Structure 1
Amino acid sequence: MGEIIIRFSDWIWGTPLLILLMGGGFLMFVYSGFIPFRRLGHAIKVVRGKYDDPEASGDITSRQALSSAIAATVGLGNISGVALAIGTGGPGAIFWMWVSAFVGMATKFFTCTLAIMYRGRDSSGHIQGGPMYVIEEGMGKKWKFLSIIFCVAGIMGLLAIFQANQLTDVLRVVIFRPLGLDYGQPTRWAIGIVVMLLVALVILGGIKRIAAVASRLVPFMVSMYFVCVFIILFKNLGEVPGMLLYILEDAFTGQAVLGGAVGQVIVIGARRAAFSNEAGIGTAPMVHGASKNNEPVREGLIAMLGPFIDTIVVCTLTALVIMVTGVWKSGERDGVLLTLSAFEQGLPGIGKYLLMFAVLIFALSTMFTYSYYGHKCFNYLFGADKADYYNYFYLLTIVGGAVTSLHVVMSFVDGMYAIMAFPTMISALYLAPKVKAATKSYFERMKE
């Protein structure tokens, strides 16, 4: 079964999906008038709360929406995903993650603007947002099959199995193994069950509790991670310029993979960027669609900050740490263990414990937000009165992720993300003129 999942993931991440994600994102980048560059300052003012309207419909503030979305994206995708990209595609894969991030900023602007523009109501009459409602409300009932495809893939792909797997690996290596308490699968089962109970304490409280916890954890965990990374990079400051040049060089030679297969490096970079910042996948529009904001363009501007923070900033810093410490040449393919080696070498004695703490916070915050995404997909398919049943399924799969191999887990998530991307990108491109018109109207009103 595991081999089938791996082959399916490799097959679906072929040229058509790459063209849709990166090509479609580039089209939106140009069509928007390069809005990620031109309106970045205004987006920062918006996220600081300058234009918040407490009377607007929705469940959470725009800042909480961004915090929840970043809690899902700034996480193990930055710690493990970057290491996986370097381990399988070489440093050149990081360049293609950068490219994906810049076009992803435009993609998130369009998809999250549409999430407010075309909000729908669930079976209980509650306002909801996300690609499934954008498709049904914006494109019409005849396209509803795309909404169903998105939600089915979302229920399966937005499980916290990758986070559970990598958190389990770190705890085993840093805590249990030195104490002689690592008994293989029994230890994995025990860790998985404990993590499941911790996640249950938060997610069973709904989106408001998830957003409240995420908005407190995200700034703290990002700050702590940055301090550790900057210390390591400062200690190896002379190596940084050379490593950045090596990333650029390797991006167009692909020497680190398949004897120079540049195309493969691009695919690896795009896959890891999609997993890290989720632009074009459709997850962020679900949480941004719940924000208290009646200005669709304003929400889109907030959302586009996500890929910049996640990939351009955090992923780059992680990549540089792995490269300046030299551990990327070790041949290690398990993402989190490669980053763990870098921290251990960069901060001897305490590095592995600091990273373990970061992984714990990153993993838990991502697990909280992913449960909300899957809950919304389940709600759309089966009704609001049955949606809470999804949480129990979600919690059980955390244990499954803890005891399954990394390759199978990563391939399964990649495959489901790919399926989700098709409805999300098709709807965004189809409705792009609506976003363009709304953007023009918004900035004309702002001038007045």
Structure 2
Amino acid sequence: MGDFIIDFSNWIWDIPMLALLMGGGLILFIYSGFLPFRYFGHALKVVRGKYDTENVPGQISSQQALSAAIAATVGMGNISGVAIAINMGGPGAIFWMWMSAFVGMATKYFTCSLALMYRGTDTAGVVQGGPMYVIEHGMGKKWKPLAILFSVAGVLGLLSIFQANQLTEVFRSVMLQPYGLDNGEPTKWIIGIAMMVLVAIVILGGIQRIAAVASKLVPFMVLLYFGTVMLIVIKYFGRIPEMLWLIVEDAFTGNAVMGGAVGAVMVIGARRAAFSNEAGIGTAPMVHGASKNNEPVREGMIAMLGPFIDTIVVCTLTALVIMLTGVWENAENDGVKLTLEAFEMGLPGIGKYLLMLAVLIFALSTMFTYSFYGHKCFNYLFGADKADYYNYFYLITIVAGAVVSLNVVVSFIDAMYAIMAIPTMISTLYLAPKVKAATKDYFARMKGK
């Protein structure tokens, strides 16, 4: 079963998915008139609350929506996902992660604007947003099978088994193994159950509690990680230009990958970027669709900052630490263990503990938000009265994630992400003219203010 999941994931994430996500994102980027670059400053003003309005439909504020979305995206994908990308595709994979992020900003803008333009209501009459509602209300009932496909893949793909797996690994490596306290399998079960209890306390309180916790954790999490990484980067400051050049050079030569396969480097970069910033997958529209905002374009502006913060800033910092310390060239470790080795080399004695704290917050904040995404998909499929059953299924799988192998976990999540991307990108490209018209109207109105 494990081999089948890995093979299917590798097959679906080849050229077709690259064309859909990066090609589709590039089309949206050009079609928008390079909007992420032109209106980046306006997006920053929006997120600072300059244009906030009260008494509009929704469950959370736009800033809370961005915090919850970043809590889901700025997570283990940035710490262990970058390590996996460099391990599999060499430094060049980071360049293709950057390219995916720039076009991903346009994709996020379109998908999250649409999430507000085509909101729906669940069976309890609560306003909801996300690709499934965009497909049903924007494209029509005949497209509903696409909405169902997205929701089924979401129920399975938005489990936090990867976060549970990597948090378990780093906790064992830092806190238990050096002191001879790791008993292998039984230890994994104990950590898994402890994580399940912690996550249960937050997610059983609903989206308001998830958003409130995320909006407090995210700024602290990013500052802690940013500060720790900067200490290491400053230590090796003189080598930064060399490392940045290596990223660009390797992107077009593939020298760090056996056989010099540039295509393989592109695929690995795009795949890890999709897992990291989730542009085009359809998760962020679900939380942005719940925000108290009646301006779809404004919400899209806020959302497009996500891939920039996630991939251009946080992933690059992680990549620099792994490359500057040189651990990527000779380490047998993969995933979070490779990043852990880099932090320990960069800041001997304290590096691994600082990363441990960052990983704990990254992983838990992602677990909180993913439960909301999966809950929405379950709600769409089975109705609001049954949606809470999903939380119990979600909590049980956290324990499973702590115990199973990394390869199978990564491949399963990747495969489900790919299936979610198909309905999301089809609906976004189909309805892109609606967003373009709304953008034109919005900025015409803004000129008068």
TM-score category, normalised to shorter length: over 0.9
In structure 1, what is the Cα distance between the partners aligned to 2:166 and 2:249? Answer: 30
Match of 1:260?
Answer: 260
What TM-score does the superposition give when structure 2 sets the normalisation length?
0.99
Structural RMSD (CA): 0.6
In structure 2, what is the Cα distance between the partners aligned to 1:184 and 1:2? Answer: 21
Verify: 1:207 aligned to 2:207, yes or no. yes
In structure 2, what is the Cα distance between the partners aligned to 1:243 and 1:141? Answer: 51
Match of 2:247?
Answer: 247
In the TM superposition, what is the alpha-carbon distance from 1:94 to its structure 2 partner?
0.1
Match of 2:155?
Answer: 155
Match of 1:368?
Answer: 368
Amino acid at match of 2:172: R
Amino acid at match of 1:379: N
Structural mapping, 1:12-411, within 5 Å? 12-411=12-411
- Asked if the contact 1:88–1:333 (Cα under 8 Å) also holds between the matched residues in 2, the reply is no
What SS class does the counterpart of residue 253 from structure 2 fall into? Answer: coil
Deviations 1:265-292 (A, max 9, x none): 0000000000000000000000000000
Deviations 1:343-393 (A, max 9, x none): 000000000000000000000000000000000000000000000000000
- Asked if the contact 1:87–1:332 (Cα under 8 Å) also holds between the matched residues in 2, the reply is no
Match of 2:439?
Answer: 439
Deviations 1:187-213 (A, max 9, x none): 101100000000000000000000000
Deviations 1:51-97 (A, max 9, x none): 11121100000000000000000111100000000011000000000
What SS class does the counterpart of residue 294 from structure 2 fall into? Answer: coil
Amino acid at match of 1:11: W
Amino acid at match of 1:324: L
In the TM superposition, what is the alpha-carbon distance from 1:258 to its structure 2 partner?
2.9
- Asked if the contact 1:196–1:396 (Cα under 8 Å) also holds between the matched residues in 2, the reply is yes
- Asked if the contact 1:87–1:331 (Cα under 8 Å) also holds between the matched residues in 2, the reply is no
Match of 2:428?
Answer: 428
Count of residues in Structure 1 that have an aligned counterpart in Structure 2: 448
Deviations 1:117-149 (A, max 9, x none): 000010111100000000000000000000000
Which contiguous aligned blocks of 4+ residues in structure 1 show a shift greater than 6 angstroms?
Answer: none
In the TM superposition, what is the alpha-carbon distance from 1:333 to its structure 2 partner?
4.7
In the TM superposition, what is the alpha-carbon distance from 1:330 to its structure 2 partner?
2.0
Amino acid at match of 2:320: L
In structure 1, what is the Cα distance between the partners aligned to 2:147 and 2:129? Answer: 12
In structure 2, what is the Cα distance between the partners aligned to 1:66 and 1:32? Answer: 21
In the TM superposition, what is the alpha-carbon distance from 1:420 to its structure 2 partner?
0.2
In structure 1, what is the Cα distance between the partners aligned to 2:124 and 2:233? Answer: 52
Contiguous gaps of at least 5 residues in structure 2: none
In structure 1, what is the Cα distance between the partners aligned to 2:331 and 2:161? Answer: 24
In the TM superposition, what is the alpha-carbon distance from 1:332 to its structure 2 partner?
3.0
What SS class does the counterpart of residue 270 from structure 2 fall into? Answer: helix
What SS class does the counterpart of residue 387 from structure 2 fall into? Answer: coil
- Asked if the contact 1:84–1:333 (Cα under 8 Å) also holds between the matched residues in 2, the reply is no
Identity among equivalent positions (%) equals: 76
In the TM superposition, what is the alpha-carbon distance from 1:259 to its structure 2 partner?
1.2
Amino acid at match of 2:211: A
What TM-score does the superposition give when structure 1 sets the normalisation length?
0.99
In the TM superposition, what is the alpha-carbon distance from 1:253 to its structure 2 partner?
0.7
